[in-house]
């Protein structure tokens, strides 16, 4: 493997040129990985980026490694060769036998023998790694190590430039302002390769970014079936949301493929019972997007209601029961009711009339995904302070839980004496974030509901009942 200074010099020239090009992060890193592996006459190279919380490493560029190896799961920074992230150069002579290797059986299947890893250091701190792999057992020379460290320095500049670009794109300033006022954690700034297999995946990633929910794209493949020692079938969910420990698979393909996906998912759940995975089919996903005015459902012209789900009388009966429970739980205390405009107006008006407590009232307004902001934005904040108050957050409907999760973290930063949630409707089947709900009116089916304050594109709020939109209003046959 010994290489002359000259070959390393020309490789560095190529790498520097591509690093300074206008290509995407993934393409730059793939090209750097290829030039590096070739210059070192190695069989594979992988460039990894460390997330800001320094919890896991994601692949941003690779050469010569199979999908199986690359998608063997998010590498946990604590477990996967932690010495590299402490700034050390790590050499592994036999990857299949070395305890430091996180997935030795996969390394074995790949025929990987030796590994050389160096840190990518930005301002003295590890922000990533480069790993070089060889099939034959190999000893690396000082010149090899020094070359790889120079490539790592170039990668550091590439990462920092890409991160800057990403931050600018995500409306960093808006996020900073919000973070300072509400103590909500900053936007995820892990470098993410942005070539999605399908445009809907990009839309979904945008939606998650909007809610400041960190995500990884296709981070892990789950072997489902083996033939002898070989893996014969695998399943790679589209997204992993580390904060929620949730995998999300989007099924925007033809619905007849859904059966196959469901089969794989069942198998995955059997083999990996600890894995939390949700399947969002096209219908789910379009409904989610439609809520924010996106996608084909968002463009549908709404004309009517399919059926009434809860009559006015039934809603009123349920509200009286809820109000009795709340009045009992807060007996002897003052209660501050907070609602988010505008969907909650009917429910709030009826609920407060049945509370036998001294009550004050305040409202907030927020902009949803698709507005001019990049993230949830409070467009109208509370008039009064909630510090030291018993606060009851009153909601019309909790769907994915993302809005409520955001609002609760905003409110709790102001130190209320207590903070609970009362929602008229709970669309539990579609929950992505587990938010605590203290008082629930009805658990609704997974349908788009309108009326009694809830709208579709601004209409139907004035209906005295809650109904389901007519399916014929949905243009696209496939999504029904």
Residues belonging to the active site: 399
H-type alpha helices, 188-253: 199-210
Q: Which of 131, 149, 109, 106 is closest to 46 using CA atoms? A: 131
Q: By C-beta, is 272 or 294 nearer to ligand IMP? A: 294
Contact code string over 409-428 relative to ligand IMP, x by CB under 6 A: ------------------x-
315 binds ligand IMP (CB under 6 A): no
Judge contact between 442 and 426, C-beta under 8 A.
yes
By rule CB under 6 A, what count of residues binds ligand IMP?
A: 16
Q: Nearer to ligand IMP by C-beta: 295 or 401?
A: 401
Q: Measured from the CB of residue 455, what is the shortest distance to ligand IMP in angstroms?
A: 6
- Half-sphere exposure of 327 toward its Cβ, with a 13 Å CA cutoff? 14
Report the nearest approach of ligand IMP to the CB of residue 249 (Å).
19
Question: Based on CB atoms, which residue is closest to ligand IMP, 226 or 368?
Answer: 368
**Paired strand residues for 442:** 425
> Does residue 49 belong to the site contacting ligand IMP (CB under 6 A)?
no
DSSP code at position 374: S
Residue 454 interacts with ligand IMP (CB under 6 A)? yes
User: How far is CA 74 from its chain centroid?
Assistant: 14
Q: Candidates 310, 396, 407, 424: give the one binding ligand IMP (CB under 6 A).
A: 396
Q: In b/e form, how buried is each residue of 197-236, taking b as 16+ CB within 10 angstroms?
A: eeebbebbbbbbbbbbbbbbbbbbbbbbeeeeeebeebbe
Q: At its nearest, how many Å lie between ligand IMP and the CB of residue 360?
A: 22
Q: Using the rule CB under 6 A, is 448 a contact of ligand IMP?
A: yes
Residues 336-355: x where in contact with ligand IMP by CB under 6 A, - otherwise, as a string: -------x------------
Binding mask 279-298 for ligand IMP (x = CB under 6 A): ------------x-------
Q: What is the DSSP string of 138-187?
A: ----HHHHHHHHHHHHHHHHHHHHHHHHHHHHTTHHHHHHHHHHH-PPPP
Quick one: which segment of 46-54, 67-75, 390-398, 413-421 binds ligand IMP (CB under 6 A)? 390-398
Pairing of strands 216-217, 239-241: antiparallel
Work out which of 399, 422, 426, 474 binds ligand IMP, going by CB under 6 A: 399
Question: CB count, 10 Å around CB of 436?
Answer: 10
Site residues for ligand IMP, 136-175, by CB under 6 A, read: none
Smallest CA-to-CA distance from 119 within 76, 158, 86 is with 86
Segment near ligand IMP (CB under 6 A), from 55-63, 266-274, 352-360, 391-399? 391-399
Nearer CB in complex with ligand IMP: 92/364: 364
CB of 366 to ligand IMP, least distance (A): 9
Among 127, 187, 208, 449, binds ligand IMP (CB under 6 A): 449
In angstroms, what is the C-alpha Rg of the chain?
26
| Closest-approach residue to ligand IMP (CB) | 403
Residues 100-119: x where in contact with ligand IMP by CB under 6 A, - otherwise, as a string: --------------------
Helix (H) or strand (E) holding 261: helix 258-271
Peptide bond into 342 cis (omega under 30): yes
Query: Which residues make up the interface to ligand IMP (CB under 6 A)?
Result: 291, 343, 396-404, 427, 448-450, 454
């Amino acid at each position: 493997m010994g290489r002359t200074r000259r070959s390393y010099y020309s490789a560095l020239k190529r790498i520097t040129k591509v690093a300074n090009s206008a290509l995407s992060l993934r393409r730059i890193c793939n090209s750097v990985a290829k030039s590096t592996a070739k210059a070192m006459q190695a069989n594979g190279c992988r460039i990894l980026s460390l997330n800001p919380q320094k919890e896991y490493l994601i692949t941003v560029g690779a050469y010569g490694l199979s999908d199986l190896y690359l998608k063997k799961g998010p590498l946990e920074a604590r477990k996967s060769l932690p010495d590299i992230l402490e700034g050390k150069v790590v050499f592994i002579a036999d990857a299949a036998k070395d305890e430091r290797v996180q997935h030795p059986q996969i390394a074995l299947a790949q025929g990987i023998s030796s590994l050389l890893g160096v840190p990518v250091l930005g301002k003295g701190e590890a922000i990533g790694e480069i790993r070089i792999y060889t099939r034959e057992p190999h000893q690396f020379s000082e010149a090899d190590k020094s070359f790889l460290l120079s490539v790592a320095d170039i990668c550091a500049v590439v990462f920092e430039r890409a991160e800057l670009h990403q931050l600018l794109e995500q409306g960093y300033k808006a996020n900073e302002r919000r973070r300072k006022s509400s103590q909500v954690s900053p936007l995820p700034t892990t470098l993410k390769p942005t070539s999605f297999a399908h445009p809907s995946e990009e839309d979904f990633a945008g939606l998650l970014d909007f809610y400041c929910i960190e995500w990884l794209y296709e981070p892990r493949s789950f072997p489902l079936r083996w033939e002898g020692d070989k893996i014969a079938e695998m399943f790679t969910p589209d997204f992993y949301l580390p904060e929620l420990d949730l995998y999300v698979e989007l099924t925007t393909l033809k619905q007849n493929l859904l059966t196959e996906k469901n089969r794989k998912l069942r198998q995955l759940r059997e083999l990996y019972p600890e894995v939390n995975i949700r399947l969002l089919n096209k219908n789910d996903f379009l409904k989610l997007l439609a809520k924010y005015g996106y996608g084909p459902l968002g463009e549908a012209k709404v004309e009517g209601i399919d059926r009434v789900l809860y009559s006015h009388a039934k809603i009123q009966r349920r509200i009286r029961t809820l109000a009795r429970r709340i009045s009992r739980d807060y007996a002897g205390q003052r209660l501050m009711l907070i609602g988010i405009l505008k969907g909650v107006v009917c429910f709030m008006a009826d609920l407060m009339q049945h509370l036998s407590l001294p009550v004050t009232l305040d409202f907030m307004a927020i902009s949803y995904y698709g507005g001019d902001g990049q993230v949830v934005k409070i467009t109208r904040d509370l008039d009064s302070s909630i510090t030291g108050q018993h606060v009851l957050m009153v909601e019309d409907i909790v769907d994915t839980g993302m809005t409520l999760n955001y609002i609760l973290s905003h409110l709790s930063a102001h130190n209320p004496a207590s903070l609970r949630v009362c929602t008229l409707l709970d669309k539990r089947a579609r929950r992505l974030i587990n938010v605590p709900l203290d008082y629930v009116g009805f658990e609704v089916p997974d349908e788009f509901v309108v009326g009694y304050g809830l709208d579709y594109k601004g209409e139907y709020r004035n209906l005295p009942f809650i109904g389901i939109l007519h399916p014929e209003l949905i243009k696209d046959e496939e999504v029904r």
